[in-house]
Amino acid sequence: METYLRATAATPLTVVTTMAHTNRLIGLAAAVLETFLDLMAPRLCPSCDAALGEREDGYCDGCRASLEPAPFPRELYGELSDALGRDELALAAVGALYTFTQDGPVQRLVHAVKYLGCYDLGVALGRDLGRATTMFVEFGEIDCAVPVPLHPARRRERGYNQAEAIARGVAVARGIELMPQAILRRAHTRSQTRLGAGARVANVAGAFAAGDADVAGRTVLVCDDVCTTGATLNACAEILLSRGARAVCAATVARDLLVATARREPPPPELLGLA
């Protein structure tokens, strides 16, 4: 009887010891598997193809340090005013992290986020963007981050909204609320890639509608991947202001050089329904 009681009393300790040993084995197996995967398919920087270090997030620190920064928000705001017309600009401020060039490293990052399923890269870029905005007085008071929406059909095709990944990272970096349903996209517009300033404005006219999020009295930060002429960002700002937002700013991962030379040329006839 005494032997039975001693064995019974020792059982919880035995169980705990066994569980701890099992957890160590699981942790060791996971580390071995991760090392094996890194050897067979190493994580690479989407911008330069260098192997990512253990602590590098999304893209490598070398690219973070060497990518060409975008102009300061005041300069970028002036460029958008020239492209869209100062009286038409609903945005209170515009900022970007990097300068986009054709076939350059920033384009490769954006391409990976949009078309290669690299959602986590979008979040990482968003965190860097969010931290960058805190350095400028124009973005001093921001209450929430709102992504430029994708049309449901395009979202199903892509699997996610890259602007939402970026906005999520911004929200985490700034400690603000993410409001992905503040704006809805109701029109499946043609790609903006090859359109000039005037054509871009016409292309997104009526494309957005207000969602069910309450933005009244808030300063909102609209987030997207690339700012070219600002037509899409400005259209989103108009929707948010119509819902009572106190002010709307915008921040993007990249600023396209086209914005510096864009002018308010008339849109092509097909966008005006004249073709």
Instruction: Quick: pLDDT tens for 18-76.
Output: 666 666 767 666 555 554 445 546 789 888 888 988 888 889 999 999 999 999 999 99
90-94, 246-250, 253-257: which range is least confident on average? 253-257
**Element (DSSP H or E) covering residue 226:** strand 219-227
CA gyration radius for the chain? 24
State mean pLDDT over 209-218: 93
| pLDDT band at residue 4 using 50, 70 and 90 as cut-offs | very low
% of the chain surpassing 90 pLDDT: 53
Average pLDDT, the chain: 82
Comparing 259 with 186, which gets the higher pLDDT? 186
Q: Would you say 110 and 253 are in contact if contact means Cβ atoms under 8 Å apart? A: yes
- DSSP letter string over 61-121? HHHHHHSPBPPPHHHHHHHHHHHH-GGG---SEEEEEEEE-TTSHHHHHHHHHHHS--HHH
Most confident of 19-28, 76-85, 155-164, 254-263: 155-164
Distance from C-alpha of 150 to C-alpha of 184, rounded to nearest angstrom: 8
Q: Does domain 61-272 have CATH number 3.40.50.300?
A: no
| pLDDT band at residue 159 using 50, 70 and 90 as cut-offs | very high
| pLDDT band at residue 83 using 50, 70 and 90 as cut-offs | confident
Structure tokens at 96: 């970007």
pLDDT of residue 188 exceeding 80, the answer is no
- Reduce the DSSP state of residue 232 to 3 states and report it: helix
User: Which residues, at least 6 apart from 93, have a Cβ–Cβ distance to it below 8 Å?
Assistant: 73, 77, 136, 138, 139, 249, 250
Question: Which pLDDT does position 89 carry in this prediction?
Answer: 92
| pLDDT band at residue 263 using 50, 70 and 90 as cut-offs | very low
- DSSP letter string over 155-176? HHHHSS-HHHHHHHHHHHHHT-
Question: Which pLDDT does position 182 carry in this prediction?
Answer: 95
- Reduce the DSSP state of residue 192 to 3 states and report it: coil
Comparing 65 with 200, which gets the higher pLDDT? 65
Question: Which pLDDT does position 43 carry in this prediction?
Answer: 84
Question: Which pLDDT does position 53 carry in this prediction?
Answer: 86
Q: Would you say 148 and 223 are in contact if contact means Cβ atoms under 8 Å apart? A: yes
pLDDT of residue 247 exceeding 50, the answer is yes
Comparing 139 with 19, which gets the higher pLDDT? 139
